[in-house]
Amino acid sequence: MVAAVDLALPPSGLEHEYNTLLTQDAVRFLAELVSTFDLDVDKILQQRIARKVQLDLTNDLPDFSPHTLHIRKDKTWKVLPVPRRLQNRQVDIGDTAPYQTERFLSALGSTAQGIQVDFDDGNCPTFFNQIKGIYNIFQAVHHKFPGIPPISQAPVLMLRPRAWNMVEHNMMVNGKQVPGPLFDYGLLMFHVGKTLYDNESGPFFYLSKVESYQEARLWNNIFVWTQEKLNMPIGTIKATVLIESILASFEMEEILYELKDHSAGLNCGIWDYSASFVSKFGHRAEFLLPDRSKYVNMEKLFLKSYMDLLVQTCHRRGALATGGMAALLLPKDQKSDGYQSVLAAVKRLKLFEIKAGVDGFMVYDIGLVEPMQKLFKEHTRGPNQLHVIPEGVNVTATQLLAMPAGGVTLHGLKYNIAVGVLFIYSWLKGEGHFYYRGQVEDSATAEISRSQVWQWIRHRAKLEDDERMVVSRSLVHSLVKEMKNELQDCYCLSERAEQLLHTATEIFLEIVQKKDFPEFITTYLNLDHTFLVSSSYNHSFRSTAVVAIHSTAQTKSRL
């Protein structure tokens, strides 16, 4: 078997990092991984499209499948117990893009139980960021950073590769760009998998945007293949699946079942999950989602039911259930009223999740780690809440699909526009998250923001502030112009930055006016506007010599 591999040249300034990671053996391993599973990845993406078409054509709603009833009814199976270092998942630091060395090192030196090492929602996947990020993980695992504890004593690395909707433009196998998650996962496993295992610290993963048990099965097959290739025991790899799609919420037990030898549990968030309602049903008026800044939170029935079902499902099967990320940022002055107000708000939201039975959650601000650990200590016993199985909880499809009451406000519309524009602006600069009005924003909040604007235009939603006004194309255009002027004063310190912000506003308007809803903002930017990222951040896509991988002869030749 011969796999033809075409790799881009190193990002400028990262020649050493590139050559350390993309060795002959590593490239061979990646090529074999991609060649083995690429058609399966295509199949699950095609199945997503087919499912959406079927829902649209029939106007049906999802439900718990009768075809997998035997899995849900069988009370005997459980996931394998997690290793010692995963038994306490109380506080992880979220949105830690590893190319940001300073933040990554701060997280490694913290008292958090874990770090969400993020190549997805909080990361912009330029080639520079991917190579720098994976290299920083390599350095951390091999104890190359001075003053940082060895990996066996540092917070657990929960490695989060890109989701299936993303591709890696800088590597081709057999004339085809490779799936982004396989590039990330493959390089990580090849370079740090065995070392993490030897130190009882992994390898552990977060799996983003899984929509079905078939996708979980694919990941399980990838794990088995990898462990066999690297001579690691089956069951070594553990993964937490993020339930970020309304469709996946109907298949939680099946997802755990498919990954039962490799499961580290399930995770529930709020914004990607809420945005999935618009993605799947946004054209239907009965699924009009109200202003998220006023009417959407985890206490609403559709989100509370989702969290209750996730906790119940996980704990019945011996799996850990974790919550989403607190995005609020603490003011620097710990004695200020603002600091106490933010801390109180985070405590209230996270105590709600603790009382629901979650075993842990994430914070972005490292300063929140110890207060949240204290909150767990005050309200729980032991390292987790696996013993807490909510009784009397019988979540129905109707509850999972119940849209909250509420309308649309002018403030909410402006806020969504600002977040959507600023995310695109950050992306064009090569950044995956940014700060706005006292909290961190990433692709998850950008998804819900642009989704709501698209949906409100589509259904000409009335404004609560003045019911004579509806959300229209012309209103959004005028507000985008207004917000652009406001944001320019705060975020643009150069003419180049102003140009990027202008481009971001144009792309945002393009997205929210599309006849057909673009499924993921990151896919749209990664595929349709790749040239903008490369030109703005100087990460040009350059062709290189072809590398032929002869898996039987175990050689690599550059032609």
Of the chain, the percentage scoring pLDDT greater than 90 comes to 91
pLDDT at position 2: 66
Is the separation of the CB atoms in 127 and 119 below 8 Å? no
| Predicted local distance difference test score (pLDDT) of residue 545 | 39
Taking only the tens place, the pLDDT of each residue in 191-249 is 999 999 999 999 999 999 999 999 999 999 999 999 999 999 999 999 999 999 999 99
Domain boundaries, given as residue ranges, for the chain:
14-399, 408-528
Which among 26, 141, 11, 21 has a CA at the least distance from the CA of 549?
A: 26
101-108 and 127-141 are packed helices; what angle lies between their axes, rounded to 10 degrees? Answer: 30
Residue 534 token pair: 């490369």
* Residues that are catalytic: 160, 442
pTM tops 0.85, yes or no: yes
Instruction: Give Dmax over CA atoms of the chain in angstroms.
Output: 73
Q: Is the pLDDT of residue 554 over 70?
A: no
Structure tokens at 412: 């909410």
CATH of domain 408-528: 1.20.1220.12
pLDDT value, residue 532: 53
Spatial contact of 88 and 275, defined as CB atoms under 8 Å apart: no
Report CA-CA distances (Å) from 40 to 164, 303, 329, 535. Answer: 11, 32, 41, 33
Tens-digit pLDDT profile for residues 53-88 = 999 999 999 999 999 999 999 999 999 999 999 999
Among residues 521, 42, 44, which one has the least CA distance to residue 248? 44
**CATH number corresponding to 14-399:** 3.20.20.360
Upstream peptide bond of 404 is cis (omega within 30 degrees of 0): no
